[in-house]
Amino acid sequence: MTRNQKKHVLIQVLRHCCQLLVLAVMVGTVYLSLYAHYHAARALEDEQFTRGFQGKVLLAIDDVIAPMDNPQPLLDSFKGTLWSLRFAGFDLTDPLAAAEVIAGSKTFYAPLLISIVLPVLLALVLGRVYCSWMCPAGLLFELSDKIRRVLPFAEIKPGQVKFSHGNKYVFLATGLAFTAVVGLPVLGHIYPPAVMSRLAHGLIYGTAIAGTITILVVMMAFEIAVSPRWWCRTMCPGGALFGLLGWIRPVRIRLDAKRCTGCRDCEVVCPMGLDPVKQSYGIECDNCALCLKSCGEDALIYAIGLPGRKRAYIRQRPAPRVSLLHKVGDSIRKRRRPIASITAVIVLLAANATAYAHHILGLPHYSYKENYPQVPTLEYPASTGPYDIVMTSYPGVPTPGEAANVAFYIRNRETDVPFGSPVTVRVLQTATFGRNKTILHETRIEPLDKTHKLSVTFPEDGEFIVELTVDVEGQPEVIPFLMVAGQPTATTSILAAIGGGLVVFIITIRAIKIKARRRRLIGQSANEQLAGRAPVTA
Amino acid sequence: MDRRTFIKDSVITGAALAGAAASAGFFERARPTTEAVAGTVRDVPLRPPGALVEEAYVQRCTRCMRCIDACPNQALLPLDATFGKQLEGTPAMKPRRQACMLCAKIDGDFLKCGEACPTGAIVKIRKDEATVLSEVRIGIARIDHELCYSYNNWSCGACIRACPFEGKAMTAGMWERPEVHEEFCIGCGLCERACIRYPQAIRVVAGKVSAEIGGRE
């Protein structure tokens, strides 16, 4: 290994460290903000708020911060997500967020423009480095690229559909135009770093995360199955914006044409799907320096220079020497699957719909986890016929075995008169498989103080349906309310475990089959050889 | 570029745009913002103090969570899907869980959420009483006279004690019956949080209660 190659390996280590650092900032900022709330509410003094992993993290932060005289300025200087971040007292906003806000509101807000100065300067000097050196989603998609490389070992050929790199500029332009016309910001909803950052925030704060996981999983699945690095290469509006900003960047990767042997190793490793020999100085290149590492001849170098200089040193391209890596790439490329892309798009739309449907009723149950500094209460609104109904429960998440007070307030929308007749309520426990179990048989409840009150004891952790039957103009109307007692194992996690097990099982079976077939083939050829060599007898 | 490539690229770009629009809730039917009635369903979410009127607010808000992190009382949380996907993730307040205490006893001259907002969706508001009373309109407290204990042969007054502008925004009548004076009520929700009745007898409502309530121009 030459000295230069050692340097290139070091660059890659640095790059991954930088990515992980951004990831740590993304998660750490949320924890610090949560800590700030707990600190203000003195919640850390209470044992029930410091249980579990999250409690340990908060206590670890407390060990560092509590001895300080005045920690408030420090706590105030770390807020937000990667979409817009307050980092060490600096306001940093993603230029795409700013573009979207300006397009949506058609106004310029000075603090917003100031907060994008640093990221824009970075992009002007270094180009799309945000994509390769910082973006946490880039890390995720690099992982999916790794998975792609493992798949051929299970004799699964991942798709190699190619899309134009120009798509992302079209997407950026149409997305901003859409926002400008409709007044609804859209790009931020699927921009992976923003989605990831919101997901981290939602998971740590225990608020709704509907859709975010779906978007990331669908993108990763699409990249694994259909098109390598599809999002970063051809679709990312943020990448497009940073690329455009980096048009005149002085730091570029350049080629020393005298050294290049034309082996095309750099083309195979380029995560952006570029040909570094020809295109690395363009706006598509994100200066990740992987091509530098791949080049055995040190022909590719980071160079600082003024933009606009003709690249005279690219002379004729030598005849390509086909490497082993490139052969593998070629063999994968031979099969193309246009149908897969269409399927993936349908899945993207459908999955989003289901993720949304999960959160129809009020706050999702994980918003009511017990380590809030406040007493959780539950409140679900509904309406039927002329009546508005509010169901309340105290506590919001009942403890199994302890009575919970459930109250229904039914009132006529037009006359403002509370419902004065009795109602019927029954409670069911939802079952993932089979029929729901009845916890409380139909009970008639007389109105008391203008509300209908009921004390329910849930027998165990789980999801329950409190079914209210109201008499609306002679017709019984049934209204179900979802309630969660304790901390049930989510149905989705059970299904995920089953699905994961299934995938492992299929891969194992497949691997065994492949192995067996290879053995058979080897045996056959050995037999043939034996047969060929065997002396003819009789 | 051949026709095949063009079609493929158009389809994938269109699909990505459709996916983004779907995630933003564009294809969802807009929810009717009927006049909210105290004591029943809240039709418009309660926004942070100093938030722009709903329409401008949604255009400006990037869901960066900075105001949520900055709120010293943790009163703000990203909205769930209750009010539709278009508003999902935007910061809102549920007073029953935690109400706005107007950054009382916290260092700084401005309300923290407006200070944190990078896009101007929440306006920076100075913390003195006169400015807060004139600039902040989160909503207005409405009493459900059917539920309120003080209007139903008991005497309570918990909400009046909780009001930061007691004597202005809220006064006690006979038997501690609360009376809300709309010209001073900023909709902080502390009364709703304090109400001892389940379901609560006093509630902050926003939206088309009147033309200028539920945000500022």
* Among the partner residues B40, B74, B199, nearest to A392 by beta-carbon distance: B199
The Cα of A514 is separated from the nearest Cα of chain B by a number of Å equal to: 35
Does the distance separating the beta carbons of A390 and B40 come in below 8 Å? Answer: yes
Phi, psi of A15 (to 5 degrees): -65, -45
The mean pLDDT of chain A is 80
Domain that holds residue B109: 33-205
Does the distance separating the beta carbons of A450 and B146 come in below 8 Å? Answer: yes
Contacts (Cβ under 8 Å, ≥6 apart) of B133: B165, B168, B184, B186
Write down the pLDDT at residue A533: 60
The answer to the question of residue B3 being in a domain is no
The mean pLDDT of chain B is 81
Q: How far apart are CA A309 and CA A138, in angstroms?
A: 31
The answer to the question of residue B13 being in a domain is no
Topology (CATH) of A250-321: Alpha-Beta Plaits (3.30.70)
Higher pLDDT: A417 or A367? It is A417
For an interface test with A, which of B2, B3, B12, B71 has the most A Cβ atoms less than 10 Å from its Cβ?
B12
The Cα of A164 is separated from the nearest Cα of chain B by a number of Å equal to: 6
**Cβ–Cβ contact B43 with A under 8 A:** no
For A477-529, what is the HEC assignment?
EEEEEEEEECCCCCHHHHHHHHHHHHHHHHHHHHHHHHHHHHHHHHHHHHHHH
Distance, first Cα to last Cα, chain A: 62
Write down the pLDDT at residue A536: 52
Write down the pLDDT at residue A343: 64
The answer to the question of residue B130 being in a domain is yes
- A445 DSSP β-pair partners: A423
Residues A172, A175, A178, A182, CA torsion sign: negative
DSSP secondary structure, A90-105, as one string: EEEE-HHHHHHHHHHH
Does the distance separating the beta carbons of A30 and B198 come in below 8 Å? Answer: no
The answer to the question of residue B9 being in a domain is no
Distances (CA, A) of A13 to A137, A138, A246: 18, 15, 24
Cis, peptide link before residue B199, omega less than 30° from 0 = yes
Are the beta carbons of B87 and B73 closer than 8 angstroms? no
Count of structural domains, chain B: 1
For an interface test with B, which of A31, A32, A84 has the most B Cβ atoms less than 10 Å from its Cβ?
A84
Question: Residue A526 — pLDDT band, cuts 50, 70, 90?
Answer: confident
Q: What is the ipTM of this complex?
A: 0.87
Under-50 pLDDT residues of chain B: 32-41, 208-217
Q: Could you tell me which of B100, B46, B52, B93 has the C-alpha nearest to residue B216? A: B52
| DSSP assigned state of B109 | S
**Cβ–Cβ contact B7 with A under 8 A:** no
Are the beta carbons of A159 and A342 closer than 8 angstroms? no
Q: How far apart are CA A81 and CA A28, in angstroms?
A: 10
The answer to the question of residue B26 being in a domain is no
Q: How far apart are CA B91 and CA A212, in angstroms?
A: 17
Write down the pLDDT at residue A367: 34
* Among the partner residues A101, A235, A392, nearest to B119 by beta-carbon distance: A101
* Among the partner residues B12, B152, B198, nearest to A341 by beta-carbon distance: B12
Q: How far apart are CA A394 and CA A301, in angstroms?
A: 66
What is the mean predicted confidence (pLDDT) over A184-213? Answer: 87
Helices (H) and strands (E) in chain A, counts: 20, 13
Cis, peptide link before residue A395, omega less than 30° from 0 = yes
Are the beta carbons of B32 and B41 closer than 8 angstroms? no
Write down the pLDDT at residue A483: 83
Higher pLDDT: A351 or A518? It is A518
The answer to the question of residue B20 being in a domain is no
Q: Over 70: is that where the pLDDT of A201 sits?
A: yes
What is the mean predicted confidence (pLDDT) over A161-179? Answer: 92
Residue type, A518: R
- The overall pTM is greater than 0.90: no
Question: Residue A244 — pLDDT band, cuts 50, 70, 90?
Answer: very high
As a whole-number percent, the residues of chain A with pLDDT over 90 amount to 23
Contacts of A392 in chain B (CB under 8 A): 198-199
**Cβ–Cβ contact B39 with A under 8 A:** yes
A44-48, A270-274, A520-524: which has the highest mean pLDDT? A270-274
The answer to the question of residue B53 being in a domain is yes
For domain A375-487, the CATH architecture is Sandwich (2.60)
Are the beta carbons of A124 and A245 closer than 8 angstroms? yes
Contacts (Cβ under 8 Å, ≥6 apart) of A367: A206, A207, A208, B77, B80
Radius of gyration of chain A (CA): 30
**Cβ–Cβ contact A36 with B under 8 A:** yes
Question: Per residue in A493-508, pLDDT tens?
Answer: 777 888 888 888 778 8
**Token pair recorded at residue A113:** 């423009």
Question: Per residue in A270-322, pLDDT tens?
Answer: 888 888 877 666 788 888 888 888 888 888 887 776 554 444 344 444 444 44
Which of these ranges, A157-166, A472-481, B13-22, B77-86, has the smallest mean pLDDT? B77-86
Residue type, B127: K
Q: Where are the domains of chain A?
A: 3-243, 250-321, 375-487, 489-538
Q: For chain A, how long is the longest CA-to-CA vector?
A: 110
* Among the partner residues A174, A211, A373, nearest to B23 by beta-carbon distance: A211
Question: Per residue in B65-94, pLDDT tens?
Answer: 999 999 888 889 888 777 778 888 889 988
The answer to the question of residue B47 being in a domain is yes
The Cα of B18 is separated from the nearest Cα of chain A by a number of Å equal to: 8
Question: Residue A529 — pLDDT band, cuts 50, 70, 90?
Answer: confident
Q: Could you tell me which of A319, A477, A447 has the C-alpha nearest to residue A384? A: A477
Does the distance separating the beta carbons of A72 and B23 come in below 8 Å? Answer: no
